Amino acid sequence: MRVRILGAGIVGLSVADELIRRGNEVTVVDPAPGSGASYAAAGMLSPAGEAWYGEEDLTRLCLSSLALWPDFAARLGVAVHTRGTLLVGVDAGDVQQVERQLSVLDLAGVSYERLLRRELVAREPGLGRVAGGAFLAEDHSVDPRAVVASLLERVGDRVGLDESAGRAAGAARRRRVETNTLTVIATGAQLPAPYSSLIRPVRGDVVRVRTQERVERTVRAWAHGEQIYVVPRIKSDEVVIGATTEERDGPLLPTVEGVWRLLDSARRVVPALDRASVVEVTSRDRPGTADNLPLVGPTHEPGVVLAAGAYRNGVLLAPLIAQLVADHIETGSVESAVDPRRFRTKEDG
């Protein structure tokens, strides 16, 4: 099969890699590969940390994709940080939030270890004054920039940089009629017409710092009502602090308020970060959908497949989305929870 993929973020490139492995003829179009949400992402593989009420299908898919990560990472030659994740609350109200999250994990059958303050500090000596929390042993992380770099190397010169994804969509559709090429749209928070209305961009500001202090594992925290995470890299002294969650448009630039809230919360949770150097502040839009589930599979338009809407879990879900798209192209199978046809585009009426 000849497949043209629009979008060279972690999802589009993972789809490309899987389709190439299965013997398809693939091209990828993106004017700036790896520069969208994948560039900002902290890289948490965190089904438990992201689980919430009413999102049972999403948690199920995230757990399935987590199981694919060891092989996927080995194939790409990237390291997975497997020291688990601490989920902590700074004050009593924050601990209630943590308890709510643990109730969701009980419902999903996901195990965790509830920890007292001193037990939390034993796992992460740099923690500040936290009131309680839990250890999520199976929630890991990767460096998404390393993943994208490896995928780009594997997909190689099949990636074309010279057309905008929007224009490419029209061109790809025309080409499909001429040559029976299939189009996979993986353009993140900016889908081309008629699919743009299926995505709600959800802004996230992220801060990258460098620190001489050891941060052993990912810490996800509620800090006086703010939800943040602190994600250390294995092979460097970089720590990623994220992320705001803002349902707004506007220039793709971090705001003073967003960055202040992140840093204020992060230094409460890990006070040693006060000494860290700020090396980068990034703002990108997450590709949200109306039900927070991805859009993966066929559309109402013959020959056009979506690999989109991964919202807060693009890195985690990339190998599963790649598998679902490749299976669909091979056999016509569709995972009903993520079938894009559950929504109507504006053009469908």
Q: Which residues in the 182-211 window bind ligand GLY by CB under 6 A?
A: 204
- Smallest gap from Cβ 44 to ligand GLY, in A, equals 5
Does residue 292 come out as left (phi exceeding 0), alpha (psi in the -120 to 50 range) or beta?
Answer: left
Buried-state track 288-322, b at ≥16 Cβ within 10 A, e below 16: bbebbbbbbbbbeeeebbbbbbbbbbbbbbbbbbb
- Smallest gap from Cβ 178 to ligand GLY, in A, equals 39
Binder among 4, 203, 233, 286 for ligand GLY (CB under 6 A): 286
- Smallest gap from Cβ 321 to ligand GLY, in A, equals 15
Q: Pick between residue 192 and residue 319 the one whose CB is nearest to ligand GLY.
A: 319
**What is the distance between the alpha carbons of residues 157 and 277, in angstroms, rounded to a whole number?**
37
Binder among 112, 312, 321, 335 for ligand GLY (CB under 6 A): 312
**What is the distance between the alpha carbons of residues 311 and 308, in angstroms, rounded to a whole number?**
8
CA diameter of the chain: 66
Binder among 84, 89, 188, 242 for ligand GLY (CB under 6 A): 242
150 token code pair? 């490896």
Q: Pick between residue 208 and residue 286 the one whose CB is nearest to ligand GLY.
A: 286
- Smallest gap from Cβ 53 to ligand GLY, in A, equals 17
Structural contact between residues 294 and 308, judged by C-beta atoms closer than 8 angstroms: yes
Binder among 73, 243, 281, 305 for ligand GLY (CB under 6 A): 243
Does residue 48 come out as left (phi exceeding 0), alpha (psi in the -120 to 50 range) or beta?
Answer: alpha
- Smallest gap from Cβ 78 to ligand GLY, in A, equals 18
The binding track of 25-64 with respect to ligand GLY, each residue x by CB under 6 A or -, is: -------------------x--------------------
With CB under 6 A as the rule, give the number of residues binding ligand GLY: 6
**What is the distance between the alpha carbons of residues 264 and 269, in angstroms, rounded to a whole number?**
9
Measured in whole angstroms, how far is the alpha carbon of residue 199 from the centre of its chain? 15
- Smallest gap from Cβ 183 to ligand GLY, in A, equals 27
- Residues forming contacts to ligand GLY in the complex (CB under 6 A) are 44, 204, 242-243, 286, 312
